[in-house]
Structure formats: C-alpha cells, structure tokens
A = this chain, B = another copy of it.
Amino acid sequence: MIQFNPQDFIPQLSIDSVIFGYKQKKLHVLISELDFGKHVYTLPGGFIKQNQSIDEAALTILNERTGVKDIFLEQFKVFGSSDRKNYEISEIFSTINSSEIAKSLAINKVWLSQRFISIGYYALVDINSSQANPKSWFPIDKLPELIMDHKEIVTEALIALRRNLDEKLIGFNLLPETFTMRNLQELYEAVYEKPFARNNFQKKMLSLGVLERLEKQYTGAANKAPYLYRFKTEK
C-alpha cells in the first residue's frame, strides 16, 4: 500500500462505488478482495482529498480499478447511520500479531476505525475495455458476503440504475461499440431481472431515436441475420 497521509483527506467521509459491468448475459459488480489472512470483500472505495471534488474522487477510484474513463458515473445516495463503523477491519487489525505489519498499519488503523459517512456512487463500464482482474467481477445474484452495509449499497445502486437505464440511455455504456437488438434486450433483462417481449422491445428502442442501424451481422447461423446498431453520436 502506498503511503497514506490522513491530513490530505477529509476525515470520516468516504466514497463507495458500485461499478456495474455486463458479461455472459449477467449484470456484474466489481468487488475488492482484501487478504488479511482472513478474506474480506468490499466495494471499491476511497477517500476525498482536500483539494478534490467528490466527483473527481469517485472518478479516481473508478479509474484506478478499471483504467476506464469517460463513462457514466453518478452519486445516488449517502449512507450515514450513526453506528456506521468498520467493525470487521478494526477487529482484524487488533488480531494482527506481526509488529512489522502492525506498525505500518498503525495510522491506518486509527483512521479506519472512525465512524464513516459514505457517499454512494455507481458507474457503468464495458467489461471488455476494463483492466480489472476478471475474477473481481461477480454476478449480482452471486455476490460474496460484503462488509458493513455494502450489500445494502449495492441494492440501492441497482434501484438507481433501473430508474435511469433508458431515461438517461446509460445502458449503452455496458455494451461494446456495436451490438444487436438481442444483445441490448438481454442487457435489459439482466438489469431488470425479467423478460421483455422481443417485438415490442425493438419498437420501443427504435422509437427512442438514438440507435443507428448499421450493416447486418452474418454469424453463419441458419437464420435471418440481425442488424448491428450503434449509439448515435450527436450531430
């Protein structure tokens, strides 16, 4: 871990990011695994530098984890219950015997044992262009046990995602440059966890007026070749 100077950061305030990706027809979430002997799973998070806006801080976290920029990122809720402390981490610190590790972590221990209020951000990234370890992506219905209230943060992020998916047309951020109508529908089905009628889905998406129809995609399959689409660039 790089050296950490608490005075550079705003105390007792953190950011937790729910970074959504999409692969194998399932919505995935990026999870950090910390190994203190005991394994602990958390949302990627961080703190806010004194000279940084909260959006910049969230972007930094996203960028460190995925290498991705220019992607949808938005705050959705603040989590601030009065007992919001990281008891798991505190306990693990207290059981570390190695005086060496303990020393290097001393500052962090004090810092991390405070009560934190956390700003929840969620982001959508194309997994293919992400540099995160593929094993860090977990299907949203198969998340490991997360520390503190991180499971609740994921739940709230999913609600925000659903609310905004076609209103803000952010779903496209999860797909590669070109995609078929079926790809798009499977994405929607993964997000909403329910099936959509194929014909009506197509009409609705086309009526949004943001898709550009490209050439057909011949896969070699014995059926009609689907059109590829691209998200229209503003003219």
Residues of A within 8 A of B (CB): 10-13, 48, 50-56, 75, 77-78, 80-82, 115, 117, 119
Please indicate the chain B residues that have their CB under 8 angstroms from the CB of A77 in the complex: 75
Please indicate the chain B residues that have their CB under 8 angstroms from the CB of A13 in the complex: 10, 12-13, 117
Q: Do A53 and B81 have beta carbons less than 8 Å apart?
A: yes
How near does chain B come to A75, taking the closest CB pair, in angstroms? 6
Please indicate the chain B residues that have their CB under 8 angstroms from the CB of A12 in the complex: 10-11, 13
In the complex, A88→B119 CA distance in Å? 27
How near does chain B come to A166, taking the closest CB pair, in angstroms? 16
Tell which of B10, B48, B55, B82 touches A51, judged by Cβ atoms closer than 8 Å.
B82
Known pairs A54-B81, A80-B119; list 13 more (Cβ under 8 Å).
Answer: A10-B11, A10-B12, A10-B13, A10-B115, A10-B117, A11-B12, A13-B117, A52-B82, A53-B80, A54-B78, A56-B82, A78-B78, A78-B119
A-B contact pairs, 28 of them (CB 8 A): A10-B11, A10-B12, A10-B13, A10-B115, A10-B117, A11-B11, A11-B12, A12-B13, A13-B13, A13-B117, A48-B80, A48-B117, A50-B115, A51-B82, A52-B82, A53-B80, A53-B81, A53-B82, A54-B78, A54-B80, A54-B81, A54-B117, A55-B80, A56-B82, A75-B78, A78-B78, A78-B119, A80-B119
